[in-house]
Amino acid sequence: MKTFQYNTSSRDDMIDITQDIQDWVTQEGYLDGVVTLFNMHTTAGLTVNENADPDVKRDFIRRLDEVYPWSHPEDRHGEGNTAAHLKASTVGTSETLLVKDGRLVLGTWQGIYYCEFDGPRRGRKVHARFNGE
């Protein structure tokens, strides 16, 4: 198992971690199998989405903000970050990716994103595990 750590720079942030995961797969010599990624935080998530057009990240965050506004008069959570918890649950905490011939199996425009919804934060953790050859 490998642990990756990320620092985020704003309340909402999407960090493309695709190359980190691919580099790890390559360094370890993994050939064929499955990589499971798990995010260790309740106000952040993981997703696979387009990584070619930076507007996708902006639109993604903007639309989540529309659905889950940062402040709502009826929110009772003491930390005031209910929106971050809802966004994280909607996006999800894990991703499962195939590996074939030592390469992540992703579509042409796909990338893996660490999604921060309650930043900025330091030392956000993602655990990765490989099963296969």
| Span 52-79, pLDDT tens digits | 998 999 999 999 999 998 877 776 676 7
Mean pLDDT throughout 95-107?
Answer: 98
Domain boundaries, the chain: 2-132
Share of the chain above pLDDT 90, in %: 89
Question: What's the predicted TM-score (pTM) here?
Answer: 0.93
Mean pLDDT for the chain overall: 94
User: In the CATH scheme, what architecture does the domain 2-132 have?
Assistant: Sandwich (2.60)
Report the alpha-carbon angle 31-51-40, nearest 5. Answer: 70
